[in-house]
A and B are shown apart, each in its own frame.
Chain A
């Protein structure tokens, strides 16, 4: 009962935010929601099927550039279709990558994703006839019907709408057969296989869905940020996403959102202390693994049990 009231309050805050907050914080809220979608996608892969990825910035880049280029060359396409296309293309790349990687175990897979993330940004950099390479690409304004999403507020509502949909889908996943299979794989891959769960198929699905989520987030990211360059989608951005799900809690939907919020706000408020930022993030990671391995979600669950 309390949970339902909390959700309603949260929803109201979400809807009213642009009227309450100054312009920059509206942008920041959009960024938090976009990162939450990426964290959800990453959690699907890493939290559920234990395939840790250090290359998700690459997926984000594919989604971002796809959305930007589509809007640039085919402005008549409505923004929702553009986002879906960004997600779909990223999912295809994710599957193309995920399938051969099925037989790689944890450590090798992690390093392979790191390599993959780099190869993606290099490809974007080298396709400079299309992407403008190292000089960067200005993202045109998104259009919903005849209406141009030219303000931070308009873009915020687009982001919020898409995010709510994707979060609901992820939350419902746990109740479906796919969700149960993923949970089983997370607990023990061998046991799941022995119980008849087609592990390879579900790991592949996880890869694809994770990439889809991140691709859609990439499209949203492009619209709210307004300018893209491949060198920003580096391994440190991928590490930021990993920090989000570790801090939030592996395999937890609310954890992904909380983790994304914490990391995004911390990242922004430490902008004046950029020399200390990686130090703080590194210490947070170490402390989290040593003292709070379930992340904030795990901590919250323990509190709730008392």
Chain B
């Protein structure tokens, strides 16, 4: 394996890894605010990407339009679902919400199949397809584009959480819900906003990754990679989600080169089991003592 080929593979891995990182971030955003896992995160990503694609194709709009359309679609789905369904279950245990989001993911997948069929569709790429030569190394522009766009989004999120009121409110709710409420923060609004923000991040991830993996109703399965990435980095930690995502992407790309090629699809599951058994807190997380 030449160095040039290796670099190419690692860069590809960082690109898919960035998408996993975004997926992980959206899961963590919802979890931190509401203490529930949204099983349907992947399907929401898939639906918003499909909507954006349909709009762009139907009205022959410039490709860049897909981004804001996906974001709007995602925000709409998230808001509707959070208000109509999750809000009702606000007193329920986390099990119940998990099962509810599981039901939502099944339903969304079926709806996508009905609206667009279960076929796969080519999604036009923002970036040219001919590889760029950096010295002896060949890199695909789409990989660099995904990495760049994802990093920009991650920085924007970091800024949001650190410097805006909304971000501080979300951090407060995730640390201690009761105290936050006593301080005058509307926990319900933070819930809604967490769902919307997570969906928006997912939508951007979807538009970035669709040209690489084809648009199809099974795109939602990427949520498993996202969850593994989040756990790998330390579930609940945002820098952990980014680190976990990048690492998982590279691992997925390197494994089939040195091991039988079929191992690629087992990598997230093997990594997940390994981390949960060896170090459930992940790379950057802290072990939380269980409160009685």
A interface residues with partner B (beta carbon < 8 Å): 50, 52, 100-101, 103-108, 110-112, 114-116, 118-119, 122, 126, 190, 239, 242, 246, 275-286, 289-290, 293
Contact = CB atoms under 8 A, between A and B. Distances in A.
28 contacts: A104-B280, A107-B94, A107-B98, A108-B235, A108-B276, A111-B231, A111-B276, A112-B276, A114-B224, A114-B269, A115-B272, A118-B269, A119-B269, A122-B265, A242-B99, A275-B110, A275-B113, A278-B113, A280-B110, A282-B106, A282-B107, A283-B103, A285-B100, A285-B106, A286-B104, A289-B103, A290-B89, A293-B96
Contact of B100 (A100, A103, A275, A290): A290
A107 B227 CA distance: 11
A279 B99 contact: no
Contacts of B272: 111-112, 115
Contacts of A286: 85, 100, 103-104, 107
Interface in B235-265: 235, 262, 265
A58 to B, nearest CB: 11
Interface residues of B, number: 41
A287 to B, nearest CB: 8
Contact of A289 (B99, B111, B273, B277): B99
Contacts of B292: 190
Interface of B: 37, 85, 88-89, 92, 94-96, 98-100, 102-111, 113-114, 224, 227-228, 231, 235, 262, 265-266, 268-270, 272-273, 276-277, 280, 290, 292
A276 B111 CA distance: 8
Given A282-B105, A286-B107, A115 B273 contact: yes
Contacts of A110: 98
Contact of B266 (A50, A104, A118, A282): A118
B94 A106 contact: yes
Nearest to B99: A289
A239 B92 contact: no
Q: What 6 A-B pairs have minimum CB-CB distances, sorted nearest first?
A: A285-B103, A282-B107, A282-B106, A279-B110, A115-B269, A286-B103
